[in-house]
Structure 1
């Protein structure tokens, strides 16, 4: 399993508020399926970050593109494979 950082920069704050519950429900489903490592919003209101777990970039992109924030055009989407390093 690989990790993918998905940035969701804010495009439309009103749409973001409107689709927040749908977005959170979608992430809850993905978490129950074992596809979410971490998630959270940026404290400055500029968007958020989700770390997806997937077998490939294509799989991660497909999941991210189904997020209601993305399908509603409330947020932009940027996906990067992420190699996690933990400091001792």
Structure 2
């Protein structure tokens, strides 16, 4: 499995507010399924970041396009494979 950093810059602030509850449900489901390692918003209000766990970029693209933020046009997305370095104990 690989890690992918997905930036979600705001395109439309009103839609971001409108689709926030659905986006948060989407993230919770992804965490419960082991597809999301971490997520959070940027404190400057520019958007957020989700770290996905997947086999390929194509798998992440397919998943990200299902995020209500992305499918509604509230947010864009930018995907980068992330070679994480940490001393933290990671979930299996």
TM range (shorter): over 0.9
- The Cα RMSD (Å) is 1.2
SS of residue in 2 equivalent to 1:50: strand
Report the Cα distance in structure 2 between the residues aligned to 1:37 and 1:17, rounded to whole angstroms: 24
Matches within 5 A, 1:14-53: 14-53=14-53
Report the Cα distance in structure 2 between the residues aligned to 1:60 and 1:77, rounded to whole angstroms: 11
Matches within 5 A, 1:3-82: 3-82=3-82
Question: Which structure 1 residue ranges, 5 or more long, are not aligned?
Answer: none
Give the count of matched residue pairs: 88
SS of residue in 2 equivalent to 1:66: coil
TM-score by length of 2: 0.92
Displaced runs of 4+ in structure 1, greater than 2 A?
A: none
TM-score by length of 1: 0.96
